[in-house]
Each structure stands twice: as structure tokens, then as C-alpha cells.
Amino acid sequence: MDGLRQQIEEAVGFLRKSYSETPRIGMILGTGLGDLAEQIETVAEVPYADIPHFPTSTVESHRGQLACGTLGGVPVVAMEGRFHYYEGYSLSEVTFPVRVMQALGAEILIVTNAAGGMNPLYELADIVLVEDHINLMPDNPLRGVNDDSLGPRFPDMSEPYDYELLSKAVTTARRTGTPFQKGVFVAVPGPNLETRAEYRMLRNMGADLVGMSTVPEVIVAAHAGMKVLTCSVITDICLPDALEPVAIEKILEVAAEGGQRLSHLLAELIPTL
């Protein structure tokens, strides 16, 4: 873990050359959140490839840079694109940017993602505020020797998604007339989508929506003492008895539509945090 701390310090030291502010909020912007990224008054835009020890995104729809600046007057650092286990990275590598954003000073982590909807009440492009999660990833980003200076050996997960942040998101959505749902997110490794039987199993386990990201980052944020808000956009409907083949092009189209709604909601919410 000494190596991890050194890597964090090296990444932070590099970023400090072009960004001297202390961010209040770190953001992970998933597919379809380009509108929100464009609203950031940037001081620095740093490609992942330039930041020491950062992985590089292999997902075509992700820009692959860290945007540092303000949004609604609030200092933020935002990942324009994330990393995934299915890309071949370890979960320690996937979650490294969360460590860096926390070390820069971020106290809050806002995570967004595109997800499949298994709740029959969900519709395409719906915004879902995540209340809890189920972790089916085959590894854990905290596995190995623990550095107590980064967080506790056994972090509590009774409230991984901060109730106060969730309440403020609900209030903002109602104030702005933004339709939303609530739900339980389940993380799977990917990259393939699920079979009918798997969707049925996940739904019976208590999950409302499914994706291939987010939970590892939330675990590390909890370990680091950050407050977390997670918002998903439903990009495909995953009802096992009415399942249809999914085209990635259609997912990206729906993600852009839902992303516009979510960008508006977060732009209204962030100044209140």
C-alpha cells in the first residue's frame, strides 16, 4: 500500500502544476454526460494519458480526460469517461482516480452511469437515483494490505449512498420537474450483456438496474470517507420475458437523451451541495 500512496502523491503533484484549487466535488461522468462536462468552467483539462499512473480509457464514447474547474460556482474535478474491469484493468486501477480526486480535496463523489433497467416500471432514458447496491464483481479494490492512512481495514457499507445527498437530489428533481426513479444497482463484470435467466436471477435478488461499473468506485469512496451520490440513466430495458437484442448505437442514442435530463438535474443540484 506504500506504493499506492506514492502513486497518488505523484498524480496529485502532476495535477497541481496546472490546477491549484481545492475541489469540493469529484465527478465520474459516464456515457451521455457530455452536456454536463461542457458546463464546467475549466481551469485545466488533462488527458488521462498524461497523468502518472492513470489508466487510459478504451471506450470510444469516453473523452478520456480530467476536467478541473467550477460548476455553478462550486470547485469540481470531473472524469470525462471512466475505466472498467472488463477493459482488463484491476479494480485498484479502475478506482485510482477516486483516490486522486479525494487527495486533491474532494469530499463528495458524484457517480453517473448508463444501466440496464430490470424494474418493469422503468422506461428508456429514465433517471434513477441509486439507493443501494449489490456487488457481483469478481474482485474487490480493497483486497490486499490496508493502508490505514487511506481508510479503515473494514469500511462500513450501511449507507454507501449518502441519505442527505439523495434527499437533496430528490428535492431538486421535484423543484425542476425532472422525472426520476429510485432503485438498487447491481454491478457485474461484463463486457457481455446478460441472458434472460441472469436478468431473472438479478431481479429476484432485489436489483432494479444493472451495470458494469460504479460499485468499485463507491467502495473506495466509502473507504476514503467521501459522501456519494449515484445517478443512472436507463439505456435498455431488460425484462427477461420480453427481451430484445440490444444495439450499442441505440444505447448511445438513449444515453444522450437521458444524459441531457441528468445534466440539467446535476447542474441545478451541485450549487446546493
Domains of the chain: 2-113+123-143+158-272 (3.40.50.1580)
* pLDDT, position 243: 93
148-to-98, 103, 151, 154 alpha-carbon distances in Å: 17, 15, 5, 10
Q: What is the DSSP string of 175-210?
A: HHT---EEEEEEE---SS---HHHHHHHHHHT-SEE
Beta strands in 105-253 (DSSP E): 108-117, 127-135, 181-187, 209-211, 227-237
Task: Measure the CA–CA gap between 69 and 129, rounded to whole angstroms.
Answer: 25
Positions in the chain whose pLDDT score sits under 70: 1-2, 58-62
Distance between CA atoms of 111 and 130, rounded to whole angstroms? 10
pLDDT digits (tens, 9 = 90+) for 46-55: 999 999 999 9
Q: How high is the pLDDT of residue 2? A: 66
User: For position 94, what pLDDT does the model report?
Assistant: 97
- Statement: the pTM of the whole predicted model exceeds 0.85: yes
Q: Which of 67, 46, 52, 47 is nearest to 4 (CA)?
A: 52
> Left, alpha or beta for 190 (phi > 0: left; psi -120 to 50: alpha)?
left
Q: What is the pLDDT of residue 152?
A: 97
Q: Find the angle CA(10)-CA(14)-CA(19) to the nearest 5 degrees.
A: 135
How confident is the model at residue 35, as a pLDDT? Answer: 80
